[in-house]
Structure 1
Amino acid sequence: MGLSGLLLLLGLFSPSWAGVTVQVPGLQVPPQYASRRADAQKLFTVSYDAYKQFAFGHDDLSPVSRGFSDGRNGWGASVVDAMATMAVMGLDDIFEEAVNFTANIDFSRSKTSSTVSVFETTIRYLGGLLSAYELSDEKFPVLVQKAKEVADKMAFAWVGNNDMPFGFMNFATNTPTRSTSNIAEAGTLSLEWFMLTKYTNNATYGDRAARSAKHIANLASPLPGLAAQGIDPATGNAVGSYVTWGGGSDSYFEYLIKYARLTNTDEHIYIDTWKTAVDSSIKNLLRKSTVGNFTYLADFDGSRIRHVGSHLACFHAGNWLLGGKLLQNQTIIDIALELNEGCWNTYAGTATGIGPEAFAYISDDGSFTGGNSPSTAQMNFYNQHGYYITSSAYILRPEVLESNMHAWRITGDTKYLDRAASAIDAFNKFLPATVAFAGLNNVNSVTSSLIDDMESFWFAEVLKYLYLTFDDPAHISLDDYVFNTECQPFKAPPALDSYGGSGKLVPAKPFAAQSGALPAVSPNAFLKSAGVPRGSR
């Protein structure tokens, strides 16, 4: 079935069709947690008020110096990224102000660097505009107009007949600016571009992005279903043999199951590949720490297991919970809850109660990380907490709270509400800067210095996930919406009664990595500094 046929089907499913359910039916937030939704909203309003005063129209507020930065091409990333959160929170006054600002963005050129990330622009700008359009009951057609404008510029990333887009573009010349890419950059476009097709009735947008994801899924891989992290967009070939659920790969895997749910497609490749990736991860990457017995997914560098983890990778628990419910597979759900415990432990183990950027483990089968052996201090920390910190920064990332919200909605266990509440308390205690909230250089120090940047995903993800954790679960339900990787909700059609795919795993294919352009690297290679943006997720 083609994409145009899918769009027709979106209006043909009967609302009375029961379908698969994800959330606990009739779930309600207990009264003792009622004030916490307002606490989450206050984090947002304090942050946005400061942004309006000191950085409005720029990409990020610098909350320590009361300045701004423009790492997302100067188009006002925080405004666009925050719009859906404003709509979810019912902040109509600033939402309409944001719409008026957005109507005048000039997407024909970058205001800063000539280089534009197709991935980041898709998840933040394209996703933010289309989600805001939906959540405002389609009252502001200019949001679709601006989404089309920026997508039409990004469309030049697909050169000739290539299935794969280049990851970075020069908007002034409409040409690629970098030859290397990864599967997260190339494979995390399908939801947003499908939604653009829905609202423009132009199937080219969605077909283009879906073609990229399917190309990756059809590649031979180092482990069944688990594509290599690196890819050459010019040839479409894999580069290196590094496998991870962390940065550079993460949201490609995330979107496989989400695209299947958002479109209700009868093309089995998305669910089959996701299911194979999960099955392969359980068989090859799943490990337990020797202290605390915490579950984690290791990386694989083509020859050895690397016992590493990252904040970015901790989205996997929520994604597996969603997929496990859609596939009605209790084994996946149970393992996802164990993964969630391991990720939450990285918060619980620090002096601030906030989790670090990257960490490592020791398992019965080894402690190899591809880097240095743990120091004496790291070993002492490991013996207390079951993991040790390898990158101590917190740059306002959402993934642990993302999975925590999914765990609450899918199990109804109030311990997840307690955890979200503790995160709010920790943020209020350790993140305040001069006017808003900033990241930490060292989450294991209560006197840590701050990172002078408040990325747009603080508005789009962290604060939306916290708010939704304490909001009425029937509002923006996981049964009604699919979130893009920036936590922008997209309305989904009624669920099918089964998401089993073909019922088969994807068969393994002989794998030979292309060498040269992009060596196999661990996620830490993407964490170039404490202030590095989300990068390849």
Structure 2
Amino acid sequence: MYYKRKTRPFSTALFLITATYVLFFWLPSTSYYRRLPKPISRKDTTVRKDAIRLNKVTEHYPVTEFIPLPTSPASIPHIQYDFPPESNSERKSRLKKQRAIKEAFMHSWNGYKEYAWLRDEVKPRTGGYQDTFNGWGATLVDSLDALIIMGLDDELELALEALEEIDFTTTASKQVPVFEIIIRYMGGFIAAHDLTNGKHPVLLKKAVELGEMIFNAFDTHNRMPQMRWEWMKSAKGEEIKPSPRSSLAEIGSLTMEFTRLTQLTGDPKYYDAVQRIMNELEIGQDKTRLPGMWPTWINTDKMGFDDSEFTIGGCADSAYEYFPKAHILLGAQTDQYRRMYEKAIETFNENLLFRAMTKDEDQHILFAANIIAMRGNAKTFQYSPDHLKCFMGGTVAIGAKVFNRPEDMYVAKGLTDGCVWAYDVMPTGIMPEVFKVSPCRHHDDCPWDEEQWYEDVLSRSIDNEEIRERAADQIEAHRLPPGVTDIRDASYNLRPEALESVFIMYRITGDKTLLDTAWRMFQNIDKATRSNFGHSSINDVRESKPKQNDKMESFWLAETLKYLYLIFSEPDHISLDDYVLSTEAHPFKRANASHT
């Protein structure tokens, strides 16, 4: 008896030591409640104080009269579904999934804080850092509104303190990618400002600093911006020129950020800058080889639209996305964006939209083709879906609501379902970057035809058994699921576009099966991409254990995980009737306009 009593203090002490070890050493690595101490700045110290800086720059082509914001009030239909109250079990399940997504966010955020604070990106596998967007802290700024949305107040406080260290007047980079800087940095500042109702003056201050700096990229003979801006020329007082080859996405996707900056500051020059671009695009819309849409590449020096490539994928995507969204942001106070969107969507539906052949004949799986339009109306179709096109389901759904086009909801659902199908048929449960599929011969009648699939794999007819075996060998060698004819790029780069459309479709339709879809997608992505210090892009979605590429772009936190978190939030959290989300998923407050 005495022996047992004597060992009890020792047992208790051992338990306390073990518990302390678990609490302070093991739990922090698995729980998002861990808060690292104030992070060490990894800011580039190679930029000297006497480096070239953009201060007051003499304009070569100043604007004498600015285009004002439109002021005619109008109404916009409600966008969001009228969700009924959820049950206790539904709420419990939803919050559990939301916490898992928040933990994934904090895992990546902590890796950035510890190894790449004030740099652009963390290397999630090795713990290094890299600067891909001028070294101004892209991940930090891009993630500001996500911190607010997820209620991470302590993390926001650290981020706000660090903003004063960002100096937009200089960079070690020779060029400034205007589009990427505006959507990531300016969008991040403005959304965080809107979400906190202007509580933190530093946010709008930094947005204006960036706006003043990058406005110089518009100082060209026709006021079209130099998209790969040679900023040192501007700093030295030299003239810059628009590019003879600018992508449609870059030139056409600045409207929301610059319009909102004018709305917030009252300075008309930002809205003027992007409105001039929109006017030029509208003039050229019917002069292309595929009237109603614009080619992927535009000569912005001469405003030429004669390129032959048409797509809604990479290098074109967000230009189309911004038509309904800019219409919403402006409170429907101009009809220009409606006109441009309706012409574009009708051309898209007639030319690029196609149904893919799958074994499940009841599935209406829709994708967008690419077109090479030659002179004389000759067209070449490329039935090549890619992840960047997956935004289109959500965009068409928003356009269907705000422009009263209910017939387009069928297209929106089909495009969203197509991207979900592309996730589900891959071994990892993740969609590849670029692939090809067998198109249906007839949109409404599309039975599974294995012979057609084999022919599409080889791009030739199956004349004999030897050729058939060759097709089967290629399918096996390239690990092609039924209906997929080629995988051009098997990587997954942490992209958000498919989840973006799932989020928007859920908020618009209230379809609860999309919650299961989103959760399945998250689990598969988290499993394949989770790395030591964040989440990494992967090289091949066909591998059961794909190689990680040690790359984590800022949109993983700013978009992908934010969309997932919002899917499992209460529907009025960032309601689509109160906010409009930019192409980088930054929520901007909508203008005060009536709803119908």
Please tell me the residue identity of whatever aligns with 1:414.
Answer: K
- The alignment status of 1:185 with 2:250, answered yes or no, reads yes
SS at match of 1:308: coil
Please tell me the residue identity of whatever aligns with 1:488.
Answer: H
**Offset from partner CA, 1:407-431 (integer Å, 9 cap, x none):** 1111111111111111221123211
Aligned to 2:275: 210
Scaled by the length of structure 1, the TM-score of the pair is: 0.86
Aligned to 2:339: 272
Greater mean alpha carbon deviation, residues 149-158 or residues 125-134: 149-158
Structure 2 CA distance for partners of 1:177 and 1:237, relative to 1, 3 Å: closer
- The alignment status of 1:295 with 2:366, answered yes or no, reads yes
Greater mean alpha carbon deviation, residues 213-222 or residues 79-88: 213-222
- How far did residue 37 of structure 1 move? 1.1
Give runs of aligned pairs for residues 321-336 of structure 1, distance below 5 A: 321-336=397-412
- The alignment status of 1:120 with 2:196, answered yes or no, reads no
- The alignment status of 1:456 with 2:554, answered yes or no, reads yes
Structure 2 CA distance for partners of 1:244 and 1:378, relative to 1, 3 Å: farther
Aligned length: 489
Give runs of aligned pairs for residues 455-474 of structure 1, distance below 5 A: 455-474=553-572
* Alpha carbons 1:87, 1:135 under 8 Å: kept: yes
Please tell me the residue identity of whatever aligns with 2:245.
Answer: T
* Alpha carbons 1:225, 1:276 under 8 Å: kept: yes
Give runs of aligned pairs for residues 381-460 of structure 1, distance below 5 A: 384-386=482-484, 388-460=486-558
Aligned to 2:125: 64
Aligned to 2:289: 222
Q: Higher Cα Rg: structure 1 or 2?
A: 2
- How far did residue 150 of structure 1 move? 1.6
* Alpha carbons 1:129, 1:144 under 8 Å: kept: yes
Aligned to 1:138: 198
Aligned to 1:172: 232
Please tell me the residue identity of whatever aligns with 1:26.
Answer: F
Greater mean alpha carbon deviation, residues 185-194 or residues 272-281: 272-281
Of structures 1 and 2, the one scoring higher in RCO (CA 8 A, sep 6+) is: 1
Question: Out of 349, 353, 371, which is 1:282 matched to?
Answer: 349
SS at match of 1:287: strand
Please tell me the residue identity of whatever aligns with 1:295.
Answer: L
1:377 and 1:77 map into 2 onto residues whose CA distance is 45
Structure 2 CA distance for partners of 1:388 and 1:131, relative to 1, 3 Å: same
Aligned to 1:359: 435
SS at match of 2:494: coil
Aligned to 1:75: 136
**Offset from partner CA, 1:232-262 (integer Å, 9 cap, x none):** 1211112512110101111001111111111
- The alignment status of 1:102 with 2:163, answered yes or no, reads yes
Aligned to 2:149: 88
SS at match of 1:450: coil
- How far did residue 137 of structure 1 move? 1.6
Aligned to 1:245: 312
Please tell me the residue identity of whatever aligns with 1:282.
Answer: N
Aligned to 1:236: 303
Query: Equivalent pairs: percent with the same residue?
Result: 31
Q: Structure 2 unaligned runs (5+)? A: 1-65, 235-239, 374-378, 442-451, 461-470
* Alpha carbons 2:120, 2:135 under 8 Å: kept: yes
Please tell me the residue identity of whatever aligns with 2:414.
Answer: E
1:452 and 1:176 map into 2 onto residues whose CA distance is 36
Aligned to 2:382: 306
- How far did residue 406 of structure 1 move? 0.8
Give runs of aligned pairs for residues 370-389 of structure 1, distance below 5 A: 373=459, 376=472, 379=475, 384-386=482-484, 388-389=486-487
Structure 2 CA distance for partners of 1:51 and 1:389, relative to 1, 3 Å: same
Please tell me the residue identity of whatever aligns with 2:202.
Answer: V
SS at match of 1:301: strand
SS at match of 2:487: strand
Please tell me the residue identity of whatever aligns with 1:203.
Answer: P
- The alignment status of 1:493 with 2:591, answered yes or no, reads yes
* Alpha carbons 1:229, 1:249 under 8 Å: kept: yes
1:423 and 1:289 map into 2 onto residues whose CA distance is 21
2:352 and 2:480 map into 1 onto residues whose CA distance is 20
- How far did residue 3 of structure 1 move? 6.1
SS at match of 1:222: coil
- How far did residue 383 of structure 1 move? 5.7
* Alpha carbons 2:225, 2:242 under 8 Å: kept: no
**Offset from partner CA, 1:420-448 (integer Å, 9 cap, x none):** 11122112321121222111100111121
Please tell me the residue identity of whatever aligns with 1:98.
Answer: A
2:404 and 2:416 map into 1 onto residues whose CA distance is 19
* Alpha carbons 2:124, 2:531 under 8 Å: kept: yes
2:333 and 2:215 map into 1 onto residues whose CA distance is 26
2:411 and 2:105 map into 1 onto residues whose CA distance is 33
